[in-house]
Amino acid sequence: MRDIIDDLIEERGVHSSRVSALLARAVSEIERLREERRWISVEERLPKDDVEVLICGTGWGSPAIGWREHQPHYIVPETIWTLGDDVDRGYPPQDITHWMPLPAPPEEK
């Protein structure tokens, strides 16, 4: 994103089609980042099983890292949510309302 802004600054006073193209790139990048960082309702779609994501539920104070996992050994097999710090307890699907992918880790320099 920074490179798009730098290019826009350099283009001041130059042909407007170039500026329009740079602005279109900026808008596209903003839309991509918004989609990547939005909370997704579990009614809209669910994450893949066994993939860590941020989750929120009813009455929670803050998001937690968790994942969905299928429990075939239950009397009635089901899929539950497990929290990263609470491996011994699964949460029923109705307790979780939203999720989002984890952000990428920082790049090492």
Q: What is the pLDDT of residues 22-80, one digit of tens each?
A: 888 888 888 888 888 899 998 999 898 888 999 888 776 678 888 887 766 666 556 77
Provide the pLDDT for residue 88: 52
Supply angle C-alpha 64, 46, 78, rounded to 5: 90
Rounded Cα gap, residues 10 and 97, in angstroms: 45
Report the predicted TM-score, pTM, of the whole model to 2 decimal places: 0.64
Q: What is the pLDDT of residue 91?
A: 60
Check whether 85 has a pLDDT greater than 70: no
Q: For residue 95, which amino acid is it?
A: D
Q: Report if residue 48 sits inside a domain.
A: yes
- Answer yes or no: do 96 and 61 share one domain: yes
Task: Indicate if 21 and 58 belong to the same structural domain.
Answer: no
Domain that holds residue 91: 40-101
Q: Are residues 48 and 75 in the same domain?
A: yes
Same domain, 45 and 96: yes
Q: Is residue 108 part of a domain?
A: no
Residues 96 and 45 in one domain: yes
